[in-house]
Amino acid sequence: MTPVLVDTGFIVARLDRSERYHKQCLTVLDDLKAPLITCEAVIVESYFLLRHLPGTRDAILQNIQQGILQIPFRLTDRAAAAETLLKKYADVPMDLADACLVDLATQFGTGRILTLDGDFNIYRWGRKRAFELLIEL
């Protein structure tokens, strides 16, 4: 089964009930049967942004431990590809987590992504393929 990419905004909105897209993130997640994949940069960003909400950082780590969130991306192996993407999209600007997700999309052959970041409407994966944003902004 083809996996779905997971970005920081989705994780934050899913765990923070005060977020505008919280309910939509819960609903879309209920309808997904595909594995969820991300990168460590997304986890670090999410962990930082949720630092003031009790229990949310523990929930992130539990999702990883339980295999709900999988992290197949290794920056050690993909640093050159990430650097190329960061340079290509410097005018957006692209951050490291986004570069890792774009590269992960190419590696896994999927543009399906759970994100609240409209920049994924600009980014392209593979050979100029558009992302499919699964959350309506």
User: Is residue 125 within 8 Å of 84, Cβ to Cβ?
Assistant: no
pTM here? 0.96
Per DSSP bridges, beta strands 129-130 and 124-125 are antiparallel
| Amino acid 127: pLDDT | 85
Residues 6+ apart with CB under 8 A from 74: none
Which of helix, strand or coil describes residue 55?
A: coil
Domain ranges of the chain: 4-133
Mean pLDDT for each 10-residue chunk of the chain (137 residues)?
A: 96 97 94 95 97 95 96 96 97 96 97 97 96 93
| Amino acid 74: pLDDT | 94
User: Nearest 5°: phi and psi at 11?
Assistant: -60, -45
| Amino acid 114: pLDDT | 98
User: Is residue 14 within 8 Å of 32, Cβ to Cβ?
Assistant: no
Q: Give the CATH architecture of domain 4-133.
A: 3-Layer(aba) Sandwich (3.40)
| Amino acid 102: pLDDT | 98
